Chain A
Amino acid sequence: MSISFLYPYNLLLLGLSLLPPLLHLIKQKRYRVEPFPDIRLIRRAEEESRRRFRLRDILLLLLRMAVLAFLALAFASPTIYLGKGNTDAYYKEDVGRTVLLLDTSYGMDMVMDDGQSKLFGAGQLADRFLGSLPAQSKIALACQPLSPFADSLSWQETSTVKSLLPRLTFSFLPQDFRLAIAECVRFLEPEGGRIVCLTDGRWLSELNSPVELHGCHLDLVLLNQAKPDAFLELKGLEKKDGELSLTFNVMAKGISGDAVLVVHSERGETQKQLQLADEVPQEVNILIDDTNWGYAELSMTGDSLSWNNFAYFASPQPPKVAFLLPPSSSPDSPIVRALHLNAEDERYQVNFISAEDIANLGVENCLLVDQSALDDVTIKSVEGFLTSGGSLILFGEQGIINPNAKTLLAEALGVNYVAHGTSDKQEMTATGTNPAILPGNISLNQLRIRGSSHFQAPPGVTLAELSDGSAGIVGGKSKLGGKLCALLIPLDPTVSNLTSSAVFVPLMDRLVQGICWQPNPRLYLGEQLLNMEAVGILPEGETTSLIKLPGIYRLNGPGGLAGLGAVNVTELAPILGNEEAQELVNRSFVGGEVNIISPGVFDEYSKTARGFSLTVVLVCLVIALLILEALIFPPAGRRPSPE
């Protein structure tokens, strides 16, 4: 049995329960002092009276303290979770109102003690959780990084969700748990429900303001409970006057002694000696030559200990985004409006260009092209841009594919054709789609080809489509040299509202981040998305060694640094212990009940997480106590006069 509080800060009101004794003491200090001839009889009277009244007074004091304490507890909205035997009651109520949110960020690739990745463990936990649900239960599955197609969240049979779990894989898209949870909450509203989130919880420390749960329950199953051995994090990077100033956070746990921080850059390496102290965080600043990329290595060699840590970095440069729209584009088009909206985003240097400008476009740009604008002339320019190593995002309305776009895609993807699927039964597995790229909320088994055309990708080429067929993303390393992503969106508002700026803008945002946030094309983009081996920022020749790194610890989001921290996963530093996580959670969520659950107890918890709100009980208790006080201890004004 356990208790959680919806508004834990209101527990501070418990201090009010000390008010009655304090008032008693203060009043006693203010008592008038009266001289009296002799107090022996008063003393005797007091002793007699004390025997008679002490119990009564103590009871009254306790009663008043209890009233205030219960009131404070009621304000904190406690929920009690009973032990076994309540499984049925819990799920009877919550059936069909649980969203299973799995963290598929790359950090979940970290290998745990049992030799399995965290994501694998999360999948097993989720599987057991689903297994404990009644057969008729429905559940929604969401993965983080959440697909921008939040509309695709839908209730599914538990069996369906279970079949998806083994196919889950990691995503290199930037994490936005705030968005993910907000979407889940939006999905559960207005009835509310429960979000069961299996995550390593690292994003918790990055929430800079609380997430509103709107009354939903959030169960956080933290899969990252071990204590860190060492931690190296790139905290700041500043480029000025031809030099790069790097600031690292260094934390050693269980390690003390001399260590060396070596920063490797394009032009060489810089060393700095450090003195590590167990659990003493320190900030290390190091100045290196100007460079576009590099990595830092913190190493230490002792008699019994040898380890090192890496932090990768890249010089931050805002991506340049160039939009190419067809001359016939209506200014009222949702996409155009969305692009204009996006253009106002200060994180990008946005330019609306014409076809003639493409030839002069540098490879640091990300070119966003409306596929309908690809006429015979323009396609040559775009191909040239791709060939020179540029990043291209091709977007357009699904079903109305420009033949030139098909050709471009076919050439870029190295396929001979682009299918025009019309069947609504054909499954994507038959197409050779790489399942690893699928966003978490896409059911591979349910991928159906709808619409009048789609891209059928050959084996080895990434192709994904949402389960409802509302949009498709094609991404990959272009055979022509650069990176390419095609986004096809049904513009028909009766089919989807994806063209609304609220959805389109963040979608484009992610694509831009994924494709071209890093100014150097050799920078990390994501193994599966590009289907290439360049996962790191090292020069081409070293990418193979990097890809063997078992995990990437952290990727700072847009507007921040393109820094990757603590890559050495075997000694990867989990940030959060349970207590720290609890504290973080208390700060990070409002308006709903949040529980932190250790994986070890999740199975048991999932059967016993039936919560009863005690607020009403407490309020009733307060009223009852007040009535009791009025009856047993009448106010002084109503006491019979001794006269």
Chain B
Amino acid sequence: MTPDNQALALLDPATLSAISNLDILARQVVEGYFAGMHRSPFKGFSVEFAEHRLYHPGDDIRYIDWKLWAKRDRFHIKEFEAETCLSAILAFDASASMGYQGRGAVSKLTYGIQLSAALAYLLVHQRDSAGLAVLDTAVRTLVPPHSTTRHLHSLLVALSHIRPAKRTDLGASLMRLGERLTRRGLLILLSDLWDDLERIVGGLRAFREKKHEVIVFHILDPMELDITIDRPVIVEDMEGGGRRPFTPREREAYRRNLDQRLDVLEKVLGEMGADYVLMTTDQNHGKSLSAYLSKRQRLH
């Protein structure tokens, strides 16, 4: 299979069908180069009315509200919210742990790539800019956001070339990515978040402080949620963290600790205004994404 075909294969028709009628709506205003469907912090001339103000000489007389002049005998200028296109960065965690496939249909890496492809397609389809940042210990690959169909192809090719790295430092790589993104936009993090939680949250908080919107797709294998083994095993850390014996009786303790971690993640991300979406690789990513977007649309 050629790289092009590989890239196109990432676009699962079923997934695309499920999300085709959904748009990613930036909950917050974003800065965009092009007029789009998203509100801009800059007042513009889109169809969305913002406010009136007194006319000052030099203002474009086309925006004088003549009805209001008839009532108040003063010139008022109508102002509109400027709609701009969304600039989204798909931050993809390419750590070794993403290569894990337990009971899921595919590995987390594959699942994340398919999910990213779907998101990229969706963004470009709605004329938003989509970019890609592949993260491990640093920003390994950065594809700047664009909204062209050709760019989508580049994104898909980049996605198809992602391979799991040996180690990861998600917190540090997020910080570095934040430093390189100057415009506010949407950060979509796709990761299993197996790193120091404080560092990850620190990295995301830096984005939020720069007024980026953040969506975190937390991708886990069902096996990670519940380690179902019937006999003791030696568990080896995929990122070189050593080996530990694991027995069935430790399963409950593991689940308890994992639940605590997920709760903390959801709580912390919620407090900073980021969306947290837990996805498991045994779920159809199209349906999951569709469900999330529907929910997000309703909230919007």
Contact = CB atoms under 8 A, between A and B. Distances in A.
A39 interface: yes
Contact of A42 (B97, B108, B235, B239): B235
Given A38-B239, A41-B257, A46 B245 contact: yes
A368 to B, nearest CB: 82
B234 interface: yes
Contact of B238 (A36, A48, A642): A36
B251 A34 contact: no
Interface in A24-51: 28, 31-46, 48-49
A612 interface: no
Contacts of A31: 232-234, 245
In the A-B complex, the 10 residue pairs with the closest CB atoms:
A37-B97, A45-B253, A38-B194, A45-B254, A49-B250, A39-B237, A37-B100, A36-B235, A45-B250, A48-B253
A352 interface: no
B163 to A, nearest CB: 16
B192 interface: yes
Contacts of B192: 37-38
Interface string B84-111: 0000000000001110100000001000
A34 B257 contact: no
15 contacts: A33-B235, A33-B236, A34-B234, A35-B235, A35-B236, A36-B235, A37-B221, A44-B253, A45-B246, A45-B251, A45-B254, A46-B253, A48-B250, A49-B249, A642-B251
| Chain B contact residues, majority secondary structure | mixed
B241 A40 contact: yes
Contacts of B234: 31-34
Contacts of B250: 42, 45-46, 48-49
Contacts of A53: 249
B257 A44 contact: yes
B242 interface: yes
B100 to A, nearest CB: 4
Interface string B240-262: 01111111111111101110010
Contacts of B266: none
B92 to A, nearest CB: 16
A36 B252 CA distance: 17
A41 B254 contact: yes
A616 to B, nearest CB: 38
Contacts of B248: 642
Given A31-B233, A33-B233, A34-B233, A39 B241 contact: yes
Given A36-B236, A37-B100, A37-B194, A642 B252 contact: yes
Interface centre among B231, B235, B242 (most CB of A within 10 A): B235
A41 B238 CA distance: 14
A265 to B, nearest CB: 80
Interface string A227-268: 000000000000000000000000000000000000000000
Contacts of B96: 37
B6 to A, nearest CB: 25
A311 B233 CA distance: 73
B224 interface: yes
Contacts of B256: 45
Q: Max chain A CB contacts within 10 Å: which of B236, B244, B251, B252?
A: B244
Nearest to A28: B245
A100 B229 CA distance: 69
Given A42-B250, A48-B253, A642-B248, A37 B224 contact: yes
A42 B244 CA distance: 8
Given A36-B238, A38-B239, A46 B232 contact: no
Nearest to A44: B257
A248 to B, nearest CB: 66
Contacts of A34: 229, 233-236, 246
Given A34-B233, A38-B192, A44-B257, 15 more contacts: A37-B98, A38-B239, A39-B237, A40-B194, A40-B241, A41-B257, A44-B253, A45-B246, A45-B250, A45-B251, A45-B254, A46-B245, A48-B257, A642-B248, A642-B251
